[in-house]
């Protein structure tokens, strides 16, 4: 038996590993970009802060620059460098001369003016007057953001000083400004801060990755179960079908592709089942036909055998016939030749009578033979009609006994007749009845040694009349009993037969009995004698006939 | 920007041209008050307004065009407009309005009579009135400091010195020649004086210096008396201000007299009859001052 398909743990692991690898790869890529983005963000935040500081410094320095007051500006730049990430702050006048500068403890001196600086043009400022530079100095990278120090060239006099102070103090009014100096702030990316930010991002991403992997494993197991369950059912059902259990069905009810597959599978199973039923039906039909063919073949073989036997009988019959016909004809030709040949001289009257008598006997024998053959052929051709005669059994039996008596007397054989008193009148074909009885009696006499005894019994049976001819003859061996009712069958079929006869007597008797719906049979004991019996069914008329005589 | 209200020539009506160099709410209050005064007096006038941009130095040809129209009166709002008009207009009467220290500016020879075609309503509040207001809030203040440019405000400071002396106070005035001396002047004053007074000096008060002055006075807890309510709003402890509506009325009265044929030269320059006290209590708190509520009666208080 095939095992149902199981999702091996190895497969599950492979799926989980591939999904985890995908997630980790995605996370690493994302992490890298996020790190880059964070650094960019920190950098732009730093520059933005620098811009804010520089702008404020520039605004606040206006008066100090205007009156070139170092003390005022020093106070301002000192305030700026206290800010985180600020390396230095410098305020210059119009001519680029430093008015005041301050540096953080990270720097030993302020960077010289000649230091190489790269303008950061990619930074889009909302205020185009701001400039940012990247500076490489003393093995450090830092940023400098500058903002011009401007002043309003407006002189208020008298009452306007007081009346317009709102406007003067606010920066919103559109007034003409003049650049009178520059405020510059140096900003440095603190490595510690950048690293902390990146580590923070990496930690978040690692945590997220872990969570996503756990969720991914969960989803994978769920999906594998979701698919494996129905697939297992399908596989089990397929295995059962393969083993011949066509009634096997898959109980997957889901409305997805697997559900559709299961439904198709069930349809397929039903269709196979249907086809198998049809095949079985066809096979049974074939079996039946085959059986009929065999039966017919057997019947044909039987018929064939019968035909062969019949053909052989016919040949035998012809041979016997020829022999039976030739013997009396030879006797007739021989005796008539003697009588007609003058060369033989004188033939006494006694001799002539004897010869003529012989001729007569042979002629009669020949006629009898031909009549029997004719009768037989008529019966075989179905041209014999059975008449229904009403006759008296004792009378007909006595009549036949008298007819046969001369034959029995010749061999000093006595014939005794015993008739059942209940059996008086019968309805049958009288002529044929007589013939059957005559044939059986003459046969009995023929095969009974001289001074023997032949007995004739007539009994009323349950359904008909039974007749039996019992002799004390040679008897018939059991193996010969079946064939003695066939044409030209005598127990000894050799050329040297002891008993003359056409060999058609019993055949004819059998046919005649069967024509009237009766049957004929034989009981015999070798050396002691034989009993030939036949039974004729009572016809309906028999009862009225019986009542007539009662 | 040129604002001409009605450009048609209607000779039956008096034509008055108003010149200004700045749009400011106090000027508008005064102008509205002036119009109302004229209307109340039943004078049918056509008033045209001319705006001169304050930086348009070479564009005074518009003033020349204005003269061609032959207005009966030119009204100027503020010192800048008055100074520019005075340079060009020599015959037509010029009535200035909302001008501080016209005498110190040299617009008029004296407050009692200009001696030229100018007269007007000044914003000047006498130093004595100012010191009294200061003393009402700071009873213990004896020494009052001021920073000024002698070339600009010598006259005002002189008046202040006199008023202080009369009141038993001492005015310590620090003269400066340029704006960059303000921080030093302020530092030299901060230990010596009980309060800082101000005069309308454009050398001392520049847009750049004002922030410094406000911050410095607050940091050093130096009570500061400003020039206007706006100063109080910006952080000064107090200021005395004219009622601009009253100035407009005074200006209207002068206009009526000029239109009725009087000569400006003999008409005295008016000054505000009442001054409103503005006090910033937040500043007072910062300075650590406790001002009794009764001292604030009638004052505009910023809390």
The DSSP annotation for A464-529 comes to EEEEEEEE-S----GGGTTTTTSTT--S--SSS-SS---S-HHHHHHHHHHHTT-EEEEEEETTTE
How far apart, in whole angstroms, are the C-alpha atoms of residue A248 and residue A225?
Answer: 22
Determine which of A150, A165, A180 to mutate to test the interface with B (most B C-beta atoms within 10 Å). A165
Q: What is the pLDDT of residue A283?
A: 95
Beta-bridge partner residues of A529: A525
How far apart, in whole angstroms, are the C-alpha atoms of residue B292 and residue B139?
Answer: 11
3-class secondary structure, A143: strand
Question: Does the pLDDT at position B11 exceed 60?
Answer: no
Do B95 and B254 meet the contact criterion of CB atoms below 8 Å apart?
yes
Chain B residues whose CB is inside 8 A of the A166 CB are 230, 233-234
Residue of B nearest to A176 (CA): B55
Task: Closest CB to B200: pick one of A63, A68, A161.
Answer: A161
Task: Closest CB to B200: pick one of A67, A72, A158.
Answer: A158
CB proximity B236 to A under 8 Å: no
Task: Closest CB to A72: pick one of B178, B183, B230.
Answer: B183
Task: Closest CB to A168: pick one of B26, B98, B210.
Answer: B210
Q: What is the pLDDT of residue A496?
A: 39
For chain A, give the percent of residues with pLDDT over 70. 89
Pairing of strands A453-460, A414-419: parallel
Nearest chain A CA: its distance from B230 CA (Å): 6
This complex has an ipTM of 0.78
CB proximity B208 to A under 8 Å: yes
* Assigned token pair, A213: 């992997």
Banded model confidence at residue A497, pLDDT cuts 50, 70, 90: very low
Task: Closest CB to B200: pick one of A67, A155, A162.
Answer: A162
Do A441 and A453 meet the contact criterion of CB atoms below 8 Å apart?
no
For tokens 């030739």, the residue is A326
**Cα-based distances in Å from A549 to A420, A421, A544, B139:** 14, 11, 9, 189
Question: Does the pLDDT at position B6 exceed 60?
Answer: no
How far apart, in whole angstroms, are the C-alpha atoms of residue B23 and residue A484?
Answer: 164
Q: What is the pLDDT of residue B9?
A: 42
Do A513 and A358 meet the contact criterion of CB atoms below 8 Å apart?
no
- Is pLDDT larger for residue A316 or for residue B180? B180
Do A443 and A484 meet the contact criterion of CB atoms below 8 Å apart?
no
Torsion angle, alpha carbons of A487, A493, A497, A502, to 10: 10
Question: Does the pLDDT at position B199 exceed 90?
Answer: yes
Q: Do A63 and B212 touch (CB under 8 A)?
A: yes
**Cα-based distances in Å from A100 to A75, A152, A374:** 9, 22, 167
How far apart, in whole angstroms, are the C-alpha atoms of residue A17 and residue A217?
Answer: 9
How far apart, in whole angstroms, are the C-alpha atoms of residue A337 and residue A340?
Answer: 5
Q: Do A162 and B228 touch (CB under 8 A)?
A: yes
How far apart, in whole angstroms, are the C-alpha atoms of residue A526 and residue A444?
Answer: 14
Banded model confidence at residue A542, pLDDT cuts 50, 70, 90: very low
- Is pLDDT larger for residue B289 or for residue A27? B289
Q: What is the pLDDT of residue A43?
A: 82
Nearest chain B CA: its distance from A156 CA (Å): 6
CB proximity B234 to A under 8 Å: yes
Q: Looking at A340-344, B101-105, B169-173, which range is the least confident one? A: A340-344
CB proximity A164 to B under 8 Å: yes
Nearest chain B CA: its distance from A78 CA (Å): 17
- Is pLDDT larger for residue A545 or for residue A540? A540
Q: What is the pLDDT of residue A2?
A: 46
For tokens 């102008």, the residue is B31
Q: Do B78 and A160 touch (CB under 8 A)?
A: yes
The predicted model gives B98-122 an average pLDDT of 89
Buried b (16+ CB within 10 A) or exposed e, A108-122: eebbeeeeebeebee
Q: Do B181 and A168 touch (CB under 8 A)?
A: no
Task: Give the residue from B237, B213, B242 showing the smallest Cα distance to B226.
Answer: B237
Nearest chain B CA: its distance from A77 CA (Å): 16
Question: Does the pLDDT at position A309 exceed 90?
Answer: no
CB proximity B276 to A under 8 Å: no
Question: Does the pLDDT at position B5 exceed 50?
Answer: no
CB proximity A100 to B under 8 Å: no
The DSSP annotation for A372-437 comes to HHHHHHHHHHT-PPPP-EEEEHHHHHHHHHHHHHHHHHHTT-EEEEEE-TT--EEEE-HHHHHHHH
Do B223 and B195 meet the contact criterion of CB atoms below 8 Å apart?
yes
Nearest chain A CA: its distance from B42 CA (Å): 31
pLDDT digits (tens, 9 = 90+) for B67-85: 788 899 999 999 989 988 8
pLDDT digits (tens, 9 = 90+) for A317-361: 778 777 778 888 888 888 888 888 877 767 788 888 888 888 888
Determine which of A56, A156, A161 to mutate to test the interface with B (most B C-beta atoms within 10 Å). A161
CB proximity B179 to A under 8 Å: yes
Instruction: Count Cβ atoms below 10 Å from residue A431 Cβ, excluding itself.
Output: 13
Q: Do A158 and B105 touch (CB under 8 A)?
A: yes
Sequence-distant (6+) residues with CB within 8 A of A526 are: A474, A475, A476, A477
Q: Do B180 and A157 touch (CB under 8 A)?
A: no
Kindly state the DSSP code that residue B225 receives in the 8-state scheme. B
Percent helix, strand, coil in chain B (nearest 5)?
Answer: 40, 20, 35
pLDDT digits (tens, 9 = 90+) for B273-294: 989 999 999 999 999 998 888 8
- Is pLDDT larger for residue B6 or for residue A12? A12
Task: Closest CB to A157: pick one of B24, B79, B209.
Answer: B79
Residue of B nearest to A170 (CA): B207
The DSSP annotation for B240-254 comes to EEE-HHHHHHHHHHH
Q: Do A163 and B230 touch (CB under 8 A)?
A: yes
Q: Is A313 exposed, middle or buried (0-12, 13-18, 19+ CB in 10 A)?
A: middle
How far apart, in whole angstroms, are the C-alpha atoms of residue A217 and residue A428?
Answer: 106
Nearest chain B CA: its distance from A130 CA (Å): 21
Task: Closest CB to B227: pick one of A68, A162, A176.
Answer: A162
The predicted model gives A534-545 an average pLDDT of 65
């Amino acid at each position: 038996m095939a095992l149902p398909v199981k999702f091996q743990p190895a497969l599950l692991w492979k799926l989980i590993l591939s999904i985890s690898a995908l997630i980790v790869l995605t996370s690493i890529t994302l992490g890298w970009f996020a790190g880059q983005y964070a650094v960019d963000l920190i950098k732009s935040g730093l520059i933005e802060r620098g811009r804010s500081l520089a702008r404020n410094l520039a605004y606040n320095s206006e008066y100090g620059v205007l009156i070139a007051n170092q003390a005022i500006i020093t106070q301002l730049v000192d305030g700026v460098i206290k800010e985180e990430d600020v390396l230095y702050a410098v305020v210059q006048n119009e001519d680029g001369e430093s008015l005041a500068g301050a540096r953080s403890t990270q720097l030993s001196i302020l960077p010289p003016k000649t230091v190489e600086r790269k303008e950061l043009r990619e930074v889009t400022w909302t205020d185009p007057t701001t400039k940012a530079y990247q500076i490489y100095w003393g093995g450090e990278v830092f940023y400098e953001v500058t903002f011009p120090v401007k002043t309003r060239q407006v002189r208020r006099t008298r009452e306007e000083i007081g009346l317009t102070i709102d406007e003067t103090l606010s920066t919103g009014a559109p007034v003409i400004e003049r650049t009178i100096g520059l405020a510059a702030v140096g900003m440095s990316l603190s490595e510690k801060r950048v690293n902390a930010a990146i580590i923070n991002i990496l930690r978040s991403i690692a945590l997220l990755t872990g969570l996503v992997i756990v969720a991914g494993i969960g989803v994978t197991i769920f999906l594998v179960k979701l698919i494996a369950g129905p697939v297992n059912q399908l596989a089990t059902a397929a295995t059962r079908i393969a083993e011949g259990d066509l009634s096997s069905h898959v109980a997957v009810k889901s409305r997805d592709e697997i559900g559709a597959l299961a439904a198709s599978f069930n349809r397929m199973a039903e269709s196979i089942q249907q086809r198998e039923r049809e095949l079985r039906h066809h096979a049974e039909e074939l079996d039946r036909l085959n059986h009929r063919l065999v039966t017919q073949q057997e019947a044909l073989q039987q018929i064939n055998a019968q035909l062969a036997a019949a053909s052989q009988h016919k040949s035998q019959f012809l041979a016997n016939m020829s022999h039976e016909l030739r013997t009396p004809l030879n006797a007739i030709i021989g005796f008539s030749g003697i009588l007609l040949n003058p060369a033989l001289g004188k033939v006494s009257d006694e001799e002539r009578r004897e010869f003529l008598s012989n001729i007569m006997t042979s002629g009669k024998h020949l006629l009898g033979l031909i009549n029997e053959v004719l009768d037989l052929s008529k019966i075989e051709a179905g041209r014999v009609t059975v008449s229904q005669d009403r006759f008296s059994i004792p009378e007909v039996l006595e009549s036949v006994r008298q007819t046969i008596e001369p034959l029995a007397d010749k061999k000093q054989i006595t014939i005794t007749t015993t008739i059942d008193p209940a059996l008086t009148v019968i309805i049958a074909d009288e002529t044929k009845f007589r013939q059957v009885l005559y044939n059986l009696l003459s046969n009995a006499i023929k095969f009974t040694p001289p001074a023997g005894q032949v007995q004739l019994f007539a009994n009323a049976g349950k359904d008909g009349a039974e007749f039996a001819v019992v002799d004390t003859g040679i008897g018939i061996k059991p193996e010969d009993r079946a064939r003695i009712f066939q044409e030209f069958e005598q127990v000894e079929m050799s050329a040297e037969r002891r008993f003359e006869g056409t060999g058609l007597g019993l055949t004819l008797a059998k046919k005649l009995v069967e024509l009237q719906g009766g049957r004929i049979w034989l009981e015999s004991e070798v050396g002691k004698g034989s009993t030939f019996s036949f039974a004729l069914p009572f016809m309906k008329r028999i009862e009225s006939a019986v009542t007539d005589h009662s | 920007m040129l604002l001409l209200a009605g450009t048609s020539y209607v000779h039956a009506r008096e034509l008055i041209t108003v010149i200004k160099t700045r749009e400011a709410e106090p000027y508008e209050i005064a102008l509205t008050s002036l119009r109302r005064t004229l209307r109340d007096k039943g004078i049918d006038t056509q008033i045209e307004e001319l705006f001169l941009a304050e930086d348009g130095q070479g564009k005074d040809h518009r003033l020349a065009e204005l003269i061609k129209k032959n207005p009966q009166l030119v009204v100027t709002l503020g010192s800048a407009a008055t100074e520019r008009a005075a340079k060009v207009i020599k015959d037509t009467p010029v009535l200035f309005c909302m001008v501080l220290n016209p005498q110190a500016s040299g617009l008029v020879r004296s407050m009692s009579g200009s001696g030229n075609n100018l007269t007007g309503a000044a914003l000047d509040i006498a130093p004595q009135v100012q010191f009294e207001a200061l003393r009402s809030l700071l009873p213990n203040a004896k020494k009052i400091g001021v920073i000024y440019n002698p070339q600009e405000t010598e006259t005002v400071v002189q008046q202040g010195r006199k008023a202080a002396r009369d009141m038993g106070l001492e005015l310590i005035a620090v003269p400066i020649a340029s704006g960059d001396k303000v921080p030093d002047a302020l530092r030299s004053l901060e230990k010596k004086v009980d309060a800082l007074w101000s005069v309308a000096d454009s050398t001392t008060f520049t847009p750049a210096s004002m922030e410094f002055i406000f911050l410095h006075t607050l940091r050093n807890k130096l009570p500061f008396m400003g020039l206007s309510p706006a100063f109080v709003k910006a952080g000064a402890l107090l200021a005395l201000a004219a009622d601009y509506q009253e100035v407009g009325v005074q200006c209207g009265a002068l206009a009526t007299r000029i239109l009725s044929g009087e000569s400006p030269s003999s008409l005295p320059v008016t000054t505000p009859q009442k001054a409103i006290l503005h006090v910033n209590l937040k500043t007072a708190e910062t300075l650590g001052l406790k001002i009794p509520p009764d001292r604030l009666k009638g004052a505009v208080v910023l809390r």
